[in-house]
Amino acid sequence: MNQQPLDDNKVQASKVFINWISERSLEWAKAGQVPARNSVRESSGFQNLEEQSALAQQVDYVHFVPAVPGIADVQVGSFDIAVNEAILLRKEPKAALDEAAGKADQILEENSKKYQA
């Protein structure tokens, strides 16, 4: 597959749009999101959003899933289920996560063969 060369005007327009929208992310935060922009998270307006500002204190611990073919299968097929089981106290958290890790390894191995990654 051939990738088209980047269009400098589109790249610049994208940067302007991302800057513009992130500067206004306090409005999104009111719907429950935690803004990516530090200055918004540090603003008094955001600090007044009790639940969101409490959640934002955990930002340093957030990790995104790796860019692996079929990773969504792992998230939906094991991780999300394990977290729900642990939160709802249907399983001990360690047991739920250990089981999910085993399932995740199996799914990743199958996906590696499936996607030839």
pTM, rounded to two decimals: 0.58
Residue 90 belongs to domain spanning: 71-115
Residue ending a domain, among 35, 60, 85, is 60
Domains in the chain, number: 2
Asked if residue 55 and residue 13 are part of one domain, the reply reads yes
Residue 46's pLDDT is 97
Q: Residues with Cβ < 8 Å from 26, sequence gap 6 or more?
A: 35, 40, 43, 45, 46
Assess if residue 2 is contained within a domain.
Answer: no
Residue 18 in domain: yes
Query: pLDDT value at position 70?
Result: 84
- pLDDT value at residue 56: 95
pLDDT at 117: 65
pLDDT of residue 77: 83
Same domain for 76 and 53: no
27 in any annotated domain: yes
Residue 37 has what pLDDT? 94
Q: Which positions of the chain have pLDDT values less than 50?
A: none
